[in-house]
Amino acid sequence: MKEKVLFLCTHNSARSQMAEALLRALKGDRYESFSAGTLPGKLNPYVVRAMAEMGVDLSSHYAKSLNQFLHDDFDYIVTVCDHAQESCPYFPGGRKKIHQSFADPSSFTGTDDEIMEGVRRVRDEIKEWIMTAFK
């Protein structure tokens, strides 16, 4: 039976979406992944582009509220931003809690290329972390 993982961030627009998709793509044989936000917003189009570059399609994804998952059980609750860790210190259905903060792609500024470079860097950091954190 696969272990269930819920990734949380503030808006479920970037970091948690990438983490959900990367865990599914890299270790989907052992983990079932989900993501949500404490204050769900809109999926970041730069994230969709950066994930497509590595063959992961997020075009049908949308931001979800953590309230959708309050009655579900998870083996891991993973906060990927400091705000989510602070606003969600306890999740009723989580057996283990992990916190690993990543830079917020929505805060990146500059040209299109500069923003994409920042999003790629965060994507790659999340990928590396998933490879080591989830065996």
Amino acid, single-letter form, for residue 36: A
Active site residue 81: yes
CA–CA–CA angle 37, 86, 73 (5° rounding): 55
Active site residue 88: yes
Query: Which of 21, 23, 58, 88 does the annotation list as catalytic?
Result: 88
Query: Which of 5, 6, 9, 22 does the annotation list as catalytic?
Result: 9
> CA torsion angle for 48, 59, 78, 8 (degrees, to 10)?
90
Asked whether 79 and 34 are in contact (CB, 8 A), the reply is no
Nearest to 63 by CA among 11, 109, 25: 11
Query: Which of 36, 81, 126, 130 does the annotation list as catalytic?
Result: 81
Catalytically annotated residues:
9, 81, 88
